[in-house]
Structures are given as C-alpha cells and as structure tokens.
Amino acid sequence: MMFLRKLRGLWPLVFLVAAGGAQAAEEYSFDSSAFEKKPFEFGGYVELKQEDFALNRSGAFYRLNNVGQPQRDSLDRTTGTLQLTGKLRQGIGTFDCSTNSTLQRDQLSHDHDHSIYEAAYSIRPTPGFTAEAGKRSLKWGKGYAWNPIGFVERLKDPNDPQLAREGFWIANSDVIFNPGGNLQTVAFTPVLVPVSSDVNSDFGASGHLNPAAKLYLLYRDIDIDFAWLGKGSRPARFGMDFSTNLTSNFEIHGEWARIRQITRQVTDGTGRVTTSVGNATSYLLGLRYLTASDTTYIAEYYRNGTGYSEQEAQQFYQLVNTAFTQLQQTGSAVLLRKALALSRGSYGRPNPGRDYLYFRAQQKDMLGIVYFQAAITAMMNWQDRSYQVTPELSYTGVTNLELRLKFLFLHGGSSTDFGEKQNSRKFEIYARYYF
Amino acid sequence: MFNLKEHIVKKLLWLVLCLVALPAAALDGTEILKKVDRNLEPESYEAYRQLIDIQPDGSKKESVLYTMKKGRDKVVALFLAPPSDKGRVTLRDGDNMWLYMPDVGRAIRITSLQSVTGSVFNNSDIMRIDYGAEYNVEATEEQKDAIVLSLKAKTGEIAYDKLKMWVDKQLLLPVTIECYAASGLLIKTLRFSNIKDFGGGIKRPATLTTDSPLQKGYKSIMQWSGLKKATFPDEYFTLNYLPRIAELRK
C-alpha cells in the first residue's frame, strides 16, 4: 500500500516523462498516409460577426433607404455565417460544391439566406483538357480591389476583396499547352452562360446563351489575359490584363476593358433622365511592393468607364434633396420614387464614381508577433476627393481560428461619393473557425 | 654550406604536402553541388511535407503540403492542412511565383522572401528548386568531415544572396546551410537531420530545422514523407491548373 501511495505521488513525473516521450516521437514522425486523396472531402467555416454602424442621417442613401422609418443614429448587427465545402471524386470526374448560409439580426430586422456558391462537375480526360458544368465563380483580372475584365462574375466588394462570391451556372472548359521558348504557357477558357427567368436571372436580360472566353499567356515572365464576352444578356465587351514582377518584390499589374454600346442613364437635379448609348472604357493600373521588413504596399488607380463624373453625381444628390423638399412641401412622392429607383441602379453601386485611388499597407508579424497583422486601407474618389480609411488588425496564431477587427471611417462633404453614403463609420469584429 | 640531406628532406616534404593537398584542389564544387541536388531528391518527384512552426511560448502550428516538382525549376505545392489553409496552392516556374487561394479564386504573384504560412521558412524554402539552378559555387573548402561550399546567387531575384553549405563528405548531402543577405546579414540557418531511406534509391534527411536571428525564439521544422520519383506533364505547372491540383494526387 505504501509503495502504491508513493507511486501515486510520482504521477506528475510520470506524466512529464510520457509527455516528453510523446513530443520526441512527434518531432520526428510524419506519416503522410492520413493525407492521401479520399473519394469524399468535407470542410468549411463558421463565423460570428458583430458590426456597429454610425448612420449618416444627412446622407442621400440613408435618407432614401429609411423613408417613413423611425430615424436612427446607429445600428448594431450580428451575423452568423456557415460556409460548407464538399468534394466527391470518381474516376476522371470530380463534383465539388460550396454553400453559404447566413443568419442576420439587427434592431430593424431578422434575416436569413442560404445560397449555393458553387456546385460543378468537372472531368479531365487528358492533362491539357478539362470540361466543367455547373455553378462556378470565375474570377478574371489582376486588380486587387476592382476587376474591369471580370465579365462573368458578381461584383467584388473592394472593402473585402478576398471574400468568396456566389458564382453563375455555366459550362466551360480549359485547354492548356506549353509551346516552350518565350511563350511558356497558353491556356484557353471558353465559357457559356445561359440566362433565363430561372437561371442566372441577375446576370442580365433573359433568353440568351452568352458566350465568353479568356486566353491566358505566360510570355517572358509576364502574365497576359485576353477576355471577351459576346453580346447577349449584357452588352458585348472585351479586354486584357497583365501582371509581372519588375523585381522579385515589386509587381505591377493592369487591366483594360471596352464595353460596346452600353446604355447609360444620367439624371439632372430635377429628375429628368437622359439615356445614352455608347462605348465605355475602364482600366486599372496597380502595383504591389514588399519591403525587407515584410510590409506590403498595394496601390491602384481605377478608371470606371461607366461611372459618374463629379458633376453628374452632384445632380443626383441634388435630385434627392429636391425630392425630399417636394415631399415635405407638397406631400408628393413622385420625385422621391424616381430618386429611389435610380439609387437602386447604377447610382447605388459600391463605387459609382469615375476615378478611384486605392492604397493598402499591411504589416506582417506586427510588434514581432507571428500571425499578427495590421493593415490600413484607403479608398478615394479622385474627382470629389471624398474618401474612406479602414484600419484593421487580424490574428491567425491559433490553428484554424481567424480573428479580425476593422474600423471604417468615411469622410466627404455634402454631394460627394463617401459623404453621401448610408454610414459614416463602421466597427466590425469577427471570429471565424475553419473545420 | 649546402646540406644535401636537408635539401632532399625539404623537397620530399613539399611533395608529400602537394599530394595531400591534391584531392582538395581537385574538388569540383559545381559537381559536388549537382550531386547534392540529386541526392536530396530526384529531378522530378512528388512528396508530402509537414511544416511545424514553433513560437517562443512553445505553441505550434502545423501545415501539410503535397508537392510536385518537375525539372530544375517547376514546383507546385498544395496545402492539405490545416483546414484554414486547405486548397491553397503555390506555384513556382523559375523566378515566377504565384499563390492561389480558393476564396479569392485566382492566382496572385508572390515573392520568394514572403512566407505564405507565417513560418520561418519563406516561399523560396517551401518551393525550393535545385541549388545548382539558382547558385554558382564561388569557393570550395575541405574540412575534416565536410566540404564547405560558398554559393553566390546567379541573379538578384534569388531569396538569399549567398549560401554557406556544409556537405557531408561521405553521403554528399547537406548538413547545415547558412543563408545570407547581400549585406552579409545572416538571415537563417537550415539544419538537415534524420537520414531516412524513402525507397527507390532515395536516402536523404527527412527533417529540416530552421531558426533565424531575425525571428528570435521562433523555430520551424519541415518533415518529408512519401518522397518518390515521378513524372508530370508541363500543363500541371500552369495557373489554370492550380484549382485542380488536388485532383492530381494518386
């Protein structure tokens, strides 16, 4: 009994020795068999996000979106997101899918949404050929915040460019070959996008099978893409992009797109809308620079060919003011309905202006803490000089857990892009757990 | 007075010294580096690697990668774990490097000095191509158990300007590599250990450990498994293939 009691007293030592042994074994043993390809894979993440908005009560978009509602200075929103991904393999074919479900709650509403982001079956009969059909999110272009040649994708949010986006139902293939010499790679991607009242209805006018294609070349260390979308649900467009490293830590990129015969609606301050049809050219020039101390700088200039000039935007904001004055003075909502309809169209895009500057600086391992990153992002409407600044902190040091804290400060006078947005400030924090 | 005996002894001594020095002088650094490259891995291979990043407080973060290499300068690495990084792919074609992230959905250019994992290992360590493809041998020195190669980067695009490589004389495998910046600053030290027979005539260190005076207290370990000779079509090492790399594993 005495012996057993003595042994019991030694248990921490036994534990330590066992733990030490386990660690030693762990340090020099890695068996890859657990990671071999499986016929079925499943994963995803769950995210909890809290957003606090300071509402811009004098802003045109706040006033339009809150007509007849109790007026508020702030709004707190909680969002739970579950994103699931799965993959099923058999022979030369693979089916993969991802879904996104959100549950959102703030002082004004409760909302939930379930979307299939991607669900596509692909076959690869030879190394150089892949055919695919289903819902897929194709992302074309080299720009970080904007992609003028993103012809068959949903609009990117420049405030969170790395966020996954819902795709469209498409059929596409990839033909790849390596000619050798200076032209190292050639890849051709033809795409078909059907649009009907049930399929891809938000792509554009229904009743079209829209053809599109991208040709990629790796020529003398320069990535070059040529992209094209045929006339159909959207006006025809074509464009190109490039990206290359001038030095190992200095990359430049650019995009150029020409949209043919696009219809453009411009209002004046009285609500008279002029519709014009013409060609529009958008382009983007950008750079990415990494310093020896691991600071990455990204800068981009974006010319939005379909955007509104400062004067055109001012006319719209004047219309909103006139509409509210008319409502107050006469009780008539005719102009207000017109302004509301325009705000839900191209005037209400995230970036409706014509010239934007984007700048981001991010510091890896901030304060010497590995996986701790600080970043600051600024976006400016170059014509009216309004801007937003977004400082953020993120930490990914705990396996599979991502924590991010972000502030958004919008600044601009009356009748300016960022001065008329619905929010003047935003605080965001989220925790995302991957499994 | 001319001492004939002393003269003969001196001449003999000189001859012996020359004979002893001959093997060192005959060492061809470039040939040794070629052998080191091939002893480390076949020119084209596939392998699984585990990266363990250890922080000063002892906490660890582990990643697992599936790697394919073709020829002297094409490497692709797919992250299989942890789930937060799963599906990420890095591609290297000579001096060009890209990172594909599934959520972003397209490849962006990255640089060799960055680290996609937050590890002491940077992208050039993780997507290493043949040393002989990136470095010229500047000097060769023979020590008791090792041959020390002083290597100089062929271009300014290479992550480390200079390497000092201690090579095991018998096995012709690297033991320690010191990596220096152009300024002469020691960036990191790589230590190879745990020699393992992978089959197919591949016998090489299964473990690589690194630390850096620039990241005091941090340590990273890379472990190999399932390393074998393989052949791949060139198409696999292109941007369009990055979303589908996971399907190429047997």
Q: What is the CATH number of the domain that holds B147?
A: 2.50.20.10
d(CA B162, CA A189): 42
- Chain A environment of B225 (Cβ under 8 Å): 30-32
| pLDDT tens digits in sequence order for chain B, 250 residues long | 456 566 666 665 555 544 444 444 446 999 999 999 999 999 999 999 999 988 888 888 899 999 999 998 899 999 999 999 999 999 999 889 999 999 888 899 988 877 777 678 888 889 988 999 999 999 999 998 899 999 999 988 888 999 999 999 999 999 999 999 999 999 999 999 999 999 999 999 999 999 888 888 889 999 999 999 999 999 999 999 999 998 888 7
**Closest CA–CA distance from residue A42 to any residue of chain B (Å):** 10
B83 closest CB neighbour out of A43, A94, A187: A43
Q: Does A35 contact B64 at a Cβ distance shorter than 8 Å?
A: yes
Model ipTM value:
0.85
- Chain B environment of A29 (Cβ under 8 Å): 223
- On whether residue B3 sits in a domain, the answer given is no
B48 closest CB neighbour out of A32, A248, A292: A32
B95 closest CB neighbour out of A32, A248, A371: A248
- Whether residue A184 has pLDDT greater than 90: yes
**Closest CA–CA distance from residue A164 to any residue of chain B (Å):** 5
Long-range contact pairs involving B93-102 (C-beta distance under 8 Å, separation at least 24): B93/A184, B93/A218, B93/B237, B94/A221, B95/A221, B95/A245, B95/A248, B95/B155, B95/B157, B96/A218, B96/A221, B96/A245, B97/B123, B97/B127, B98/B239, B98/B242, B100/B239, B100/B242, B100/B243, B101/A162, B102/A85, B102/A164, B102/B243
Domain tally, chain B: 1
Beta bridge partners of A114: A101
- Chain B environment of A177 (Cβ under 8 Å): 235
- On whether residue B14 sits in a domain, the answer given is no
**pLDDT for B22:** 44
- On whether residue A113 sits in a domain, the answer given is yes
A189-210: average pLDDT: 96
Range of the domain at B190: 28-248
**Closest CA–CA distance from residue A400 to any residue of chain B (Å):** 5
- On whether residue A400 sits in a domain, the answer given is yes
- Chain B environment of A144 (Cβ under 8 Å): 108
- Chain A environment of B53 (Cβ under 8 Å): 370
User: Among all residues of chain A, which has the CA nearest to that of B181?
Assistant: A292
**pLDDT for A123:** 96
For B97-139, how does the pLDDT look when each residue is reduced to its tens digit (9 = 90+)? 999 999 888 899 988 877 777 678 888 889 988 999 999 999 9
- On whether residue B167 sits in a domain, the answer given is yes
pTM of the full structure:
0.87
d(CA A235, CA A134): 23
> Pick the residue with more confidence: A127 or B118?
A127
d(CA A430, CA A51): 9
Q: Does B244 contact A122 at a Cβ distance shorter than 8 Å?
A: yes
Q: Does A176 contact B104 at a Cβ distance shorter than 8 Å?
A: no
**Closest CA–CA distance from residue B68 to any residue of chain A (Å):** 14
Helix (H) or strand (E) holding A380: strand A372-381
- On whether residue A359 sits in a domain, the answer given is yes
Beta bridge partners of B204: B196
Range of the domain at A68: 38-434
- On whether residue B4 sits in a domain, the answer given is no
- Chain B environment of A176 (Cβ under 8 Å): 235, 238, 240-241
Domain tally, chain A: 1
d(CA A152, CA A227): 10
- On whether residue B13 sits in a domain, the answer given is no
pLDDT bin (cut points 50, 70, 90) of residue A9 is very low
Going through chain B in order, the beta strands assigned E by DSSP cover 45-54, 60-70, 74-81, 89-93, 96-100, 107-109, 135-142, 146-153, 162-168, 174-180, 186-199, 202-211, 219-229
- Whether residue A14 has pLDDT greater than 70: no
Q: What is the CATH number of the domain that holds A210?
A: 2.40.160.10
